[in-house]
Amino acid sequence: MKNYQTFLLALVGLFMTTRLMAQIEDKKGIIEKGAELVKVQDGFSFTEGPAVSRVGDVYFTDQPNNRILHWNAISGEISVFKEYAGRSNGMYFKLDGTLISCADEENQLWAIDAKGNETVLVKNFRGKKLNGPNDVWVRPKGGMYFTDPLYVRPYWEGIRGNELEQDGEHVYFLSEDGSEFFRVAEDLVKPNGIIGTPDGKYLYVADIGDSKTYRYEIREDGYLINKELFCEMGSDGMTIDNRGNIYLTGDGVTVFSPKGEKIAHIPVPAKWTANVTFAALDRKTLFITAMDAVYTIKMKVRGVW
């Protein structure tokens, strides 16, 4: 009886894997042939903010449990990197190894060193708290862009219903030395996911509140110009590969070419896929955060850093 149950469970697992693989769309051959979506670990509350280090390890957040976790790309093991993590959400590594975090417990932007010690980079804008920094991208020349939508959190004190701290939901730029801090996009409904090109010329911002993603040109001084519609889809988190393809999340992972053409879709067995990045030393492992679990899938293309 036990052997039969084991066989039955294996058969069900094979069926689910086959069905999932059959649903994968890949028009341009960006996914490794025969690759399967692998659940690395579950048991979290809500995973977010995957950021890849120089050696290919991924740091991601379990926001409701207020911690940052570390996935070792070689061993595959996951350990706790930082407790009391400011309810960190989106994150991104600077070239010097500093981890930038959208710490929305107090609506701040943090810099976290290798030992887990944090420094507050941004506390407010024009004397008022931010709505809740959500996702961040560090440009190659220094300085960073982050989105500031409003998602009312149960752990906030003194929040008055859905009232905005700022006069809208915007995108901000902070210079490398911290001396300049200003808005760069003020006409979006609810900006969320954000990623830039490795040459620092273009920035993609997902307006999840309007189901659209836009592309901007980045000026030397940090300001954005020449906004254009990239695709009719919003996103929670985003990443980019070495071909310039853009990866959006929500219903699994949807991939668009640099021209805005949908070229792939990776279904994920979760109600919501929050974020995505390229991991491992060769940057050919797509690391996905989705609800209570994290997943990986092997790719032909590489991530850029």
What is the sign of the dihedral through the CA atoms of 281, 284, 290 and 294? negative
Mean pLDDT of 3-10: 37
Res. 4: pLDDT tops 80 = no
pLDDT attached to residue 158: 62
Q: Phi then psi for 167, rounded to 5 degrees?
A: -90, 10
Q: Which domain holds residue 220?
A: 28-298
The one-character DSSP state at 15 is H
Res. 66: pLDDT tops 60 = yes
C-beta neighbour count of 88 within 10 angstroms:
29
Residue 246 Cα to chain centre, angstroms: 12
CA distance 279 to 190: 28
pLDDT digits (tens, 9 = 90+) for 180-218: 999 999 999 999 999 999 999 999 999 999 999 999 999
CA distance 125 to 135: 17
CA distance 239 to 187: 23
pLDDT attached to residue 150: 92
114 lies in a domain?
yes
CA distance 284 to 158: 44
264 lies in a domain?
yes
Give the position of tokens 């850093």.
305
Res. 19: pLDDT tops 60 = no
Q: What is the CATH number of the domain that holds 66?
A: 2.120.10.30
179 lies in a domain?
yes
**How many distinct structural domains can be found in the chain?**
1
Residues 284, 301 contacting (CB under 8 angstroms)? yes
CA distance 208 to 156: 22
The one-character DSSP state at 128 is B
21 lies in a domain?
no
69 lies in a domain?
yes
Mean pLDDT of 245-262: 98
5 lies in a domain?
no
Res. 15: pLDDT tops 90 = no
281 lies in a domain?
yes
70 lies in a domain?
yes
Question: Whole-prediction pTM value?
Answer: 0.91
